[in-house]
Structure formats: structure tokens, C-alpha cells
Structure 1
Amino acid sequence: MLWACILLPQLAMDGVLRERSDPAAPLALLAGPAQRRVLQAVNPAARELGLKPGQTLTAAQALTRNFASADYDLAAIERWQRFLAAWAYGFSAQVSLHYPRCLLLEVQSSLGLFGPWPRFEARLRQELNALGFRQRITVAPNPAAARVLANAHDGLAVSDDTTLREALGRLPVERLGLSREVATAFARMGLRSLSQLLALPRDSVARRFPAEVLLQLDTLLGRQPLALEFYRPPDVFDARIELNFEVESHQALLFPLRRLTADLAAYLAGRDSGVQRFVLQLEHRNLADSRVVVGLLAAEREAGMLFELTRGRLEQLQLPAPVLAVRLLARELPAFTPQHRQLFDERAQQTLPWEQLRERLRARLGDHAVQGLGACADHRPEHAWQTQAQAPHTALPACGPRPGWLLAAPQPLRESSLRILAGPERIESGWWDGEDIRRDYYLIETRAGQRGWAFRPLGSDGPLLLHGWFA
């Protein structure tokens, strides 16, 4: 087996920056009591101003006040780690959150689907960068070794035990995942690397150090399996972005909306599902939340489409008060079946598939503005169709040719040069509801070459009545 470790060294900072419209602005994350706030993490722009982790907020403000601050939220770190686990579930059925701020993925069984490891790794990095998370990725024959190698390497891929032992042997003792007291004791003995540790007699190490030391070494070398609990994504997507200021315009809500819909799309791809209904909640200070309900006729999960549909419905909402936070909640996550497409798509690049066009029209014009046509079990032309929210997938009942354009009321045909191409087709029906008809229908052609559908009431000698035109 091969295990990949995705280490997320700046998870807390990345989680805050991705929710800000200007991630390049100086930012510091603060921790500690109100009397002594300490900088826990800083982004590159803040580091250029002379700020660094461990400084007190007072000392940082003495250097400069040109930086923003936010809380170092441990709950948010765990939430982002679980979100990324749901994303990683789309690449491997075995995803573990065993270590903090990292993901463990079994990738050997996924290489046949995603290609050789260099291509697979490039895709992982590309999607993580698009989501806004920095990463270090290593691969090893066991998950513990992959995690330890990520402490000192990025991009290292080890596939056999011999190479693994060599790579681990060069690691410093303090990066092996041992407790600080044990690592300090080894350093005082002059032991600097794992290879020097492995050269010691096991009995001597077992007598002088806790049992966890040999257990950790055996786990790194694959002699002892690491017990892992595998992640399973929840059946509900619930994400919230707290805004930095009170937002009073739809335009300022587009950035958090784009981030939320992109996160929803990544989550759905990991679960191999779609979404058919979700709710966008806008939180206000002293009013109840405003709700934007987005209902789709079919399951979707493409990020751009979800954004455009939600944006269209959001712009129809009159904001009753400034918005403090945006929340997206999706509970209906049905299975998703990708649309079958031709190998060589003949559509122009700017055209949309009918499903996407239909949803955009519904978002812009309203749910009842776009209707489909469905067939009814009635021979009378006036009653043989009805409007439906979704176009039917069943075929029309077998009958003679029917026009695509049915007139609201039949009109007499006065033209004397009509050609009758087919007919008559007699339709007698409707005795049960008082709208009984008895007609003989003909397929006709006018002098100009137009083809129509006309009838004459049974027993009548009058002119033909035009009821519809064929395309």
C-alpha cells in the first residue's frame, strides 16, 4: 500500500484568508487572554512589517498598526480539516484525520483511476491551491512514515521499504514524532538522527526509555500497523462566512457567495453526489435571517453554475438590513449522474446545455416562468397537453402526425387551392365532461407550401377549420 500525507502547515491562517476579499493584506491571528494577546500566526505581508509569531499584540502595535487581526480559532481549524477530508474523499475511500492539521490518504488503489503518482499529486496540489490551502505532500508505504517525512520534505515519494529506511534514517530525532523529553534525552546522548537510534540495542532502549519509543520506531518502519479511524462525510453541508463589516449591497456579497458555492461543489465531488435544493441565509444584527431558497429541477454540482443560479436569486432579494454573515445549508444531496456528452462536442463554446440554460432562466425570471410540456391521455387536441415544471422524459403516446403549433381557436380556411395530403383521421371523444367533439382531421398544404392540420365537424359541409401549423 501507499499512503499520502497532506500536511496543512498554515491551516488556521489559510482558513481566515480565503474568506477575505484581499488575502494579500497584512493579517495576524491572535490567541491568549484579553490582558495579554499574543500573535499566534502571521501571513507573509505581516511578516514583512516585522511581525512574527510569539510577539505580544502591544509589541506588534508598537512596530506598526497597518495590519488586521482575527482570532486563532481551534474550532475553525477542526472544521476546515473536516471540510478538506470531505474533499479528499473524492480521491480515496480511506481518508483519516489521525494527525492534527493533516490528511492521510491511501493512494495505491487510486492510481489506476487518477494516473501515476506525479500526475495524481499535481491534481491534488492544483485543487488545494484553488481552494486556498497551502500544503506539503509526501508518500510512503505506511501512514506514520508519510506523516514524519512531511516534517522535513515536500514532494518526496517513497515506494519501497529499503528507500524508506534510508529516507527515515536521515531525519533528525526531534522530527520523528517523539515527545520533547525523549528527543532532548537522545540529543544529550549525542544521537542526532534515526539511523543512529536504530543502531542502538533494542533491549537497552527498552530499559531506558518509555515503551512508546520502540512502538513509534516500529510504526515508522512498518513493523507495527497504525490503527486508523477512517472519515465518512456527513449528509449535510453547512458552511458559514462571517463578514468583516456590515454589507449593504448585493455586489459585496458575491465574494463570500462564490467561496461558499465553490466549497459546496468540492464537497459534492468528494461525496460523488449533487444538490437539488439549498438555502442561503443572510444574518442581520436585529432582524431575522433573510433566506434565499434555491431549488433545482435536477441534481447539479458544477461550481460556476451553482454560483450563477444563487446569484440570480440573491439579486431579486431586497436586503432589509446590513448583512453580518452568510450561511449556506444543503440537506438534499441526491446521487449525481454526469451528463453524457459526445466525444467531439459540436456546440459552440459560448452555448449552454439546455439544463443549465433552463436553470439560469428560472433563477432570473422565477420558478414559474419556465415550463415544460407534458402529454395527457386525451385524444382531443385541446386537452392532450399540459404545462409541467419539468419537461417529461416519457415519449408521447402513439398517434397520427400532430402540429407543433396549435392555434388558440380554430380558424376557417378560405383558400381554394388547398391540397389534402392525408386524412381523414376521425376523433370522437369528451362525452364524459360535456365537451364532446366529433371531427375529421386532414393534413393539408397551402399554395405557399405551408402544411397545416385542419378539420371539419362530422356532418358539416362548411369550410375546413385550421387547428395548427406544422414546422
Structure 2
Amino acid sequence: MRKRIVSMWFPRLPSDRVLRARATNTANDNRPFVLTHHEKGTDRIYCLNPAAEAQGLHRGMGVSDARAYCPDLQSQPADIAADTRFLQMLARWSKRYCPWVGLDGRDGLMLNIAGSAHLFGGESAMLDDMRHRLVRAGLQGHVAAADTRGAAWALTHYGRAAHEDIGALPVAALRLDAKTDTALQRLGLRKISDLFALPRAAIARRFGPEVMLRLDQVMGAQEEAITPLREAPHYGVRLTLPDPVGLSADVMAGTERLLTRLCEKLKERDMGARQLQLTLRRVDQGAQQVELRLAAPMRDAARILPLFERGIHAADAGYGIDQMRLEATQVEPLLNAQASNTPAERRDGLEDLITRLGNRIGLDNIRRFLPADSHIPERSFQIAPAAYSAPEGPWISARPRPLRLFPPEPIAATGPELPMKFRWRRMAFTTGRSTGPERIAPEWWLPDRAWQSGVRDYWHIETREGRRLWLFYTPQNPAWFVHGEFP
């Protein structure tokens, strides 16, 4: 069977990915847009759309210089990991044309369509369908087919027509490095056909074996394999029952067997389940699904099994369940713990509690406070979902901070001296013991309307009425406020 290779090249893959996902109106679609990345101490253009290129911008150009040429330039930091995931998604989509699809660098795909072109009405019809679908998806792609991988790559990157003669293409189409390409052109060897008449030994001595290797790959004298994209591992197990069951205890027993098998699969790949889905198929062909979201990646069947109990009890078995299927729909890396003589602190109980509560009210609704690197009270902490963050600490502060912090509330007091008597929230207080002042200056490099008034002098006071308050005074705009309360 004749071998045919299709090369797909996406010259603007990063910018096309971002622009097709942005919810912009039609008026802004043609505005210059670039993706940037930090290189050699400055931000440079990583990828750009045609409108930016029409303004004279190019890849590798400094962003500050680009804005001087194009004041209305829109920019966004590049996300190389997201680009890789998007290219892999395109590879999976390309399997509609053939099963043998591999990646070609960071912006291309290679397809071996031998034996599958007739399913689409021939090779030309297949290539037209590829181009049509890419345009409809908002992607700029070059598609070409040839007998070899090197020839297909050359046509997509340097060919003007799908069936152009390979010999008429520049020597850069051989996938040579820039130094070798420049050296060949200085000798007048500008086209691939110019290399055919020269002795192979002379070319190899002058430029090394790479030039002849690439030439042989283009012409088919040297095989060049396409490494297919590996399928993502599937973490799912199934159990078919000889007789239908309906009792929760029987379903739990079946779930235990499934969990043991699934956890073995996860352990083989050093992965842990973050989200599990148990599907219970009934004899009437209906199905009940029990979903379990875990507060941390796990692969311990004994720990996970009790967490399924509530969902299984609430499931409707109908006339009986004859098949059970358990799948880890979301997994994360979970390396084996290193053996140590010192007992490690166990957090299993807290994670299991977060899991139980999270499956009732939502994992995102259970949050924890984490310390932040700022001396400003409002910025000294951040709130994050407990299931997707680890405790950080310890909390470090030169002076104690109140457990309760609320927006500053004015009190009925005047003068720079600490008030001995004041009113707050319609209550009268008398100052007993006090500690202070502690002056806190604003972070001038960050905009914050609440701190634009200047410095604050904080006092920790204990009132005779039993309340322990955190007061501050603003010298530049004389006033007293209560900012928090100690337990």
C-alpha cells in the first residue's frame, strides 16, 4: 500500500487558541493582538495575529518597541502548557481521518492516511475537508500531503501549492538549522534541486551528515517514523453480577471489590483519584450514578469506601442492580510516601471530614485562611478552598493580630490621644489596659483606596466592659476607628 503523509501546520496556534476563546465582539476581532513571554530580562512577542503583523510587528520583538509602533496593541502572557494541551486536543480530533496521528513540534501534526483517504472520497476531498473544518474552528492551518514526512513538512511550511515540486523549494525546507541554511545559500545552493548534482561525500564533509540525511528523508531514501500520540490511561473497572442485588450492604461489598482493583491501577502509575463516579445499572436498563469528590488525591480503598456510604444509601436500586462500574474521572499525581523512622503527622481525618462535608455543600464552599506576605492587615491573609490548598504557616507577625477583622468602623472620639471613654456600635466603653501605638504605613506600590489616606497608628486595648478591641488613629485625617476584635 502506498504510504501517504499529511502535514498540518498551525503557524499562529497560540494566538488562534486565545482569540477563539475570548468573548470579543466583531469590532475588536481585527485589532492587533500579541502573546508575550519573558526572555533575556524583557517581555518579547511570542505569537501575533495577522493584524499585528500588518503593523510591522514580528516574533521576538520587544513589547515596549511594539507598543511604540502600535499604541492600541492588545497583549496577554503566553501559556505554553495550554498550547500543548490544545495541540493534543487537535491530535485527538484528527483521528477522525486516520488512527495514526503524531505531534510535529509545538505547532504541527503528522497523519499517516494510507488506506483511509477513500473513506472521504479521495485524498483531495479529505484535505479540503480538513481545511474547511479548521477555518470554521477559527484556526489558521496549512495542510499538504506527500509520500514522505519531510516532503509533507516542506510543502506546508514553504510550498505555495499543494502539489509543488520539492526541488523548487528553498533549502530551508529540509528542516536545517539557520547556520547551515545560511552557509548553503552563500555558496549559491538556494533550492533543494541544487543539491542533487553535487557529490554526496563533498556535501557531508563540508556541512556534516545532517544535510544528506534530511535530503534522503524528503526523497524517501531514508525512513522517518511518525510516533503516534499515546492514549491517556483510563482508570475504570466494571463488575457484572450473576444475580441482581438491591441491598445497600451488597452494593457496598461490590464497591469495595471495584475500589481495590481501581486503586491498584492508580498505584501502578503513581496517581491518586480526586473525583470518582460509581454507575449502578439496573435490570430495567436504568442507571443510578453516585459521584464522590475527594478533598485530596487518594488511592486507599479502605479510606474511600466509607465515603461512598451516604450516596449508595440514597441510590434507588429499582428491581435490582446487575452491573456496577467505577471510574476515576479526575486524577492527580500521588507519589509514594518515603519511609522514615519518625512518625509523620497524619491529616487523613481532616481530609475525610472535608470530603464528607464537601459532598453535601460543595468542596468549593469549605475554605481556609492562608497567610500572605503583607504587613497590611487586609492583605495579610487569603481565602482558598480547603480541598485545593494545603495549610501554610506558621503565621508570623511582630505583634498579635485580632482573630476577627472587619471594615474600619468610626467611633465617637476626638484628639490624637488614646480615648479613655468612647462609643462604638451604640455602646459606651472605658479603656482599661492598652498597648501601642504600632504605626503601619501603606504599600505605596499597590493601589488601595482604603489606605490612600496615609499611615495608621494601631492600639490594642482591653475595655473594662470585657471587650478587647483593635483601634487605629489616622494622623493626616484625624479620626479613630475600630478595625478588629480579639477573642
Identify the TM-score tier after normalising by the shorter chain. 0.3 to 0.5
Higher relative contact order (CA 8 A, sep 6+): 1
With structure 2 as the length reference, what TM-score do the two structures score?
0.45
With structure 1 as the length reference, what TM-score do the two structures score?
0.46
